[in-house]
Amino acid sequence: MFTGLIETTGKILSVEERTGARRIAVSAPHLAERLHTGDSVAVSGTCLTALDISTDPPVFYADLAAETVARTSLASLKAGTVVNLELPTPAGTPLGGHVVQGHVDATGTLIGLEPASPDADRSQTDWWLQVAIPESVGRYVVEKGSIAIEGISLTVAKFDGKTVTVAVIPHTYAQTNLHALKAGDPVNLEADVMMKFFEERQKKAEPEFELTLDYLIANGY
């Protein structure tokens, strides 16, 4: 489980086509030294398995299954692409963002990322991020609710049924891959798992069901 609070960014060093899978090499300063073979790591919001880890230079590899390539923005990776990186949240750690599984639902399309104050210093202004999202994700989106975009935990400011608008603070803009994206780029989307959970419970219509902390823990949330 992740929280959508990006620890650092990395850079794609290579993309290798292999029989049955695609392998990527990721430069990961400040993070590779904490990885062990088989560990999970979120790459732009996609949960992958770290392989062939090196600390000098700080690099890890990961294999992309056909499903991952088909469903996520990782399909468009190339050498030099900046990606967001996050390690799983240790048990007992405060959840500063929201529950992010690293299971990408679909990709959206970046419409725009504009400074809230065009005349302000770009390192000090907030930004408005707009992303066109498919209906399969939109059904779980509500204003002031959570959504993970490229693995980043963000709060929905506006939603018109097709486009999500979120406010991005200067720190998030500078410390994630958002500043490297451009209009038209695909971005990974993961809807709030709690919204999916509520939908599932409504379908089952369990009588007198009560959402409690004990229930969430028992079911892996």
pLDDT in tens, 83-131: 999 999 887 777 788 889 999 999 999 999 999 988 888 889 999 999 9
Q: Which residue has the higher pLDDT, 154 or 202?
A: 154
CA gap 137, 64 in Å, rounded: 22
Q: If we measure between CA atoms, which residue out of 60, 73, 76, 77 comes closest to residue 25?
A: 60
- For residue 42, the cross-strand partners are 47, 86
pLDDT of residue 220: 60
pLDDT of residue 206: 57
Q: Which residue has the higher pLDDT, 152 or 122?
A: 152
Residue type, 173: Y
pLDDT-above-90 percentage for the chain: 75
pLDDT of residue 214: 73
Domains and CATH numbers, the chain: 8-86 (2.40.30.20), 106-197 (2.40.30.20)
pLDDT-above-70 percentage for the chain: 91
Asked whether the predicted pLDDT for residue 143 surpasses 60, the reply is yes
CA gap 185, 164 in Å, rounded: 15
Catalytic positions are 2, 40, 47, 49, 65, 103, 155
The answer to whether residues 80 and 12 touch, using CB atoms and an 8 Å cutoff, is yes
Residue type, 32: A
